Structure 1
């Protein structure tokens, strides 16, 4: 039975309060059954759909951190549009900004023609950028997704440098369009395209729990930097001088892996010394998610190119690339996107940036994230299957392992993707939406809205701890059942009649 400690809720009105009370009233895990909407989705929607396979819900209402499905079940959303919903669902300042645009009769779609809404948005964005980066920077509005912005960044640096090769990292995720896919560390999505995805040199990312050099710690970090320097400078190394390097300061889909600040500074020094433009992909990490407005700020560096999407549109589709002015070698029309003039998204984005600043949500994310990870590490001490707890701010990953299996040749523990999936399913049955990622899908990922309170995070922890316990118990029961169902090798055989 679940704890009845009532979590406080942000003051977004009666609807959110009602959903919170209904969620707290949950005494027994939900029975997750299909409904006609899900059945029709399965029949008619592309086989490429992903989230409904692991989170089989049809949603009808959402406020704050809560969503309600068509069967009246209430869930805490710790996926939050893969980080898009920085302020949660239907936050009052976002709704008010959208209504103001609609009520004023402002154009909703303007291509790249300017408007007062767009002008305000650009000013608001530049005000939260580091001053030395914003000074003289240019902004390119792209299509509506982060992948579109990554495509623009690739074109930008290739045009500015006259080079073709890109440098990317193991475990990277930068989108699913053709160009962005070349930068992806995961091989699975790239296999169907055979040899058409060329021109990228992959480098080791500083994944301390699974150090690619089998060393770990400071020694592993330095080995990685020395190797990357060799790749970038060895005239006999076979890798041409690159058009650019792209990385995430915290890998998201790759398993919530924060790059150490010293490593980020080392990468910045290397790229500056070799004249390789540095692209930082902050699509998921930007706007307070990691306890800094942008994740690269933890290391005290500035990039040459910054890719932004997700939270930047206040839950609506928008993406931009911000870059140093000397890279602005575009010709008119060299990059475009029909929906780059999404006025509702710009108004919602300005409202989101303003609320993050006025409510000091960046500092809140840092504090709340540390507290939550402390709770998770206490849980880790009780369960050897929790191999690692990591993250930054409210971007948190819990890596699930199988301690009973032999370690790899590098000494890394065996991944337990099936157990991670079982934990995700048990979370869902208890009213908590989380996601998986990382190697073999073995990392449980949480990206709660930045407005989540510490009391609400305590409730999330209670649910997660119960889900881990239930999944492990189920696994143990299955193992015992399998062992008892197997005939004993030394048992006497029955004589023939």
Structure 2
């Protein structure tokens, strides 16, 4: 390879179009061609690789919400590092912050020793926290991933309470390490392992469109809270009192399912009254993604433990726990990690937090999410294969269904085949998005929070085109079904 740093087999022409909306719109739909980078990746990387199977791209350049691959195609990135890139690719604020650290000769690797950069990061983060964590919270720096922060949270609450049982929720996703996987609802990655954490008990999550109690609405919320209270208070439930309840305010990988605010408030009351730690996993929702700085703020609650990663590192690996000081009972060294002192990530994180606040991007995410939701709801009115549009802010999903199949429990079945076709057709239209939920039937959108109104409109237009193409391909195998 001649040009490794730019990621191309030959130097990119100086006349390559800039990464702008205008350049994107000038580009017609296209088919992805054979790519030697992907062939080498398939030959050498492990069978566990995931994203390249669904998004077969070799990327060489990113700016804002745009990406360019090694074949010159421009894409709008509605995946954004699974929500990591709140400010998009190579935002000037984060790049400048990292360059300052490099130019100053500051140490890049400090374990958990403090530095001026680390001190400034903690101050910037605590300035954004909900009360009372901002006043009496403690912070633990973890390894580079959200999964490691979840592992730390489990150790923290078990040490503080002396209990071993933990409650989690169906549909949850908390990571792929052994402990985090034990809290995750998806069975597929667990089956090869034979067993997982035996002290985890799963509760029904308030998935309104497919209510686990067959009720939905306020009745479904009441039933869910009643079930949890009954389980905790029944002396013959068979379940030991838990150290913690671990929950996502919006389930992401589980299908973009927002928990109703009243349900979250009820869960907070139930756990507080019984001395159970409430752990809220905001790895994907934190830092403005849902239209509030933290998703739990939509319900007006403060957890005992807040788990953060992804966006807080400004695109670089970083994860932390922020928790009530009353839980701070673990011994020195009870949780460690070589790369918990990532100074470049902390500098980029400071820049991200400051930019979010100065440019009011949290409110912007709420407005752009409302705009994009309006477009998706219009598509739902036009296409029967869209069962539900849901989410908060710029964390949105469309659940695709088979409208002509026999309904199950009052709803059409999920259609993962149609979702995969739509993802492929979106890619040909230059839009990168991901799937999630049961049977991978939910199309998920997580664009950078800097996306403009005009760009939102273009994304919706491209999804509409892709939907037509995907349905035509789906219907070709079932000629009797002519409309979406």
CA distance in 2, matches of 1:178, 1:63: 35
In the alignment, what sits opposite 1:493? none
In the alignment, what sits opposite 1:209? 209
Whether the aligned pair in 2 keeps the contact of 1:308 and 1:320 (CA below 8 Å) is yes
The offset of 1:193, in angstroms, is: 1.4
Whether the aligned pair in 1 keeps the contact of 2:178 and 2:196 (CA below 8 Å) is no
The offset of 1:18, in angstroms, is: 4.1
Map residues 162-311 of structure 1 onto 2, 5 A cutoff.
Answer: 162-311=162-311
The secondary structure found in structure 2 opposite 1:373 is helix
In the alignment, what sits opposite 2:4? none
The secondary structure found in structure 1 opposite 2:218 is helix
CA distance in 1, matches of 2:171, 2:354: 33
The secondary structure found in structure 2 opposite 1:323 is strand
In the alignment, what sits opposite 1:25? 26
Whether the aligned pair in 1 keeps the contact of 2:371 and 2:456 (CA below 8 Å) is no
CA distance in 1, matches of 2:341, 2:376: 42
Whether the aligned pair in 2 keeps the contact of 1:401 and 1:416 (CA below 8 Å) is yes
CA distance in 2, matches of 1:196, 1:82: 25
> Any idea what the Cα deviations from partners look like across 1:48-68, whole Å, max 9, x if unmatched?
000000000000000000000
The secondary structure found in structure 2 opposite 1:181 is helix
Whether the aligned pair in 2 keeps the contact of 1:436 and 1:443 (CA below 8 Å) is yes
The secondary structure found in structure 2 opposite 1:75 is strand
| Structure 1 portions without partners, runs of 5+ | 1-13, 484-497
In the alignment, what sits opposite 1:119? 119
The secondary structure found in structure 1 opposite 2:280 is strand
Q: Structure 1 pair 403/456, CA: closer, same or farther in 2 (3 Å)?
A: same
CA distance in 1, matches of 2:61, 2:195: 44
Q: Structure 1 pair 481/381, CA: closer, same or farther in 2 (3 Å)?
A: closer
In the alignment, what sits opposite 1:142? 142
Q: Structure 1 pair 208/482, CA: closer, same or farther in 2 (3 Å)?
A: closer
CA distance in 1, matches of 2:132, 2:229: 26
Question: Structure 2 length normalisation: TM-score?
Answer: 0.95
CA distance in 2, matches of 1:17, 1:91: 15
Whether the aligned pair in 1 keeps the contact of 2:398 and 2:444 (CA below 8 Å) is yes
Map residues 476-491 of structure 1 onto 2, 5 A cutoff.
Answer: 476-480=475-479
CA distance in 1, matches of 2:329, 2:94: 35
The offset of 1:21, in angstroms, is: 2.8
Counting matched residue pairs gives 468
The secondary structure found in structure 2 opposite 1:188 is coil
Whether the aligned pair in 2 keeps the contact of 1:385 and 1:402 (CA below 8 Å) is yes
The secondary structure found in structure 1 opposite 2:479 is helix
The secondary structure found in structure 2 opposite 1:100 is helix
> Any idea what the Cα deviations from partners look like across 1:243-262, whole Å, max 9, x if unmatched?
10100000000000000000
The offset of 1:31, in angstroms, is: 1.0
The offset of 1:320, in angstroms, is: 0.1
Cα RMSD between the aligned structures?
1.5
Q: Structure 1 pair 217/43, CA: closer, same or farther in 2 (3 Å)?
A: same
Q: Structure 1 pair 407/482, CA: closer, same or farther in 2 (3 Å)?
A: closer
The offset of 1:72, in angstroms, is: 0.4
In the alignment, what sits opposite 2:325? 325
The offset of 1:231, in angstroms, is: 1.2
The alignment status of 1:160 with 2:165, answered yes or no, reads no
In the alignment, what sits opposite 1:8? none
CA distance in 1, matches of 2:419, 2:470: 9
Max Rg structure: 1
The offset of 1:17, in angstroms, is: 5.0
In the alignment, what sits opposite 2:385? 385
CA distance in 2, matches of 1:402, 1:449: 30
Q: Structure 1 pair 53/298, CA: closer, same or farther in 2 (3 Å)?
A: same
In the alignment, what sits opposite 1:342? 342
In the alignment, what sits opposite 1:494? none
CA distance in 2, matches of 1:113, 1:451: 34
Whether the aligned pair in 2 keeps the contact of 1:143 and 1:338 (CA below 8 Å) is yes
Q: Structure 1 pair 16/35, CA: closer, same or farther in 2 (3 Å)?
A: closer
In the alignment, what sits opposite 2:102? 102
In the alignment, what sits opposite 1:467? 466
CA distance in 2, matches of 1:283, 1:259: 16
Whether the aligned pair in 2 keeps the contact of 1:213 and 1:223 (CA below 8 Å) is yes
In the alignment, what sits opposite 1:10? none
The offset of 1:131, in angstroms, is: 3.0
| Structure 2 portions without partners, runs of 5+ | 1-14
The offset of 1:199, in angstroms, is: 1.0
The secondary structure found in structure 2 opposite 1:341 is coil
The offset of 1:15, in angstroms, is: 9.6
The secondary structure found in structure 2 opposite 1:140 is strand
Q: Structure 1 pair 33/197, CA: closer, same or farther in 2 (3 Å)?
A: farther
Whether the aligned pair in 1 keeps the contact of 2:17 and 2:23 (CA below 8 Å) is no
In the alignment, what sits opposite 1:457? 456
The offset of 1:482, in angstroms, is: 11
Question: Structure 1 length normalisation: TM-score?
Answer: 0.93
CA distance in 2, matches of 1:166, 1:71: 48
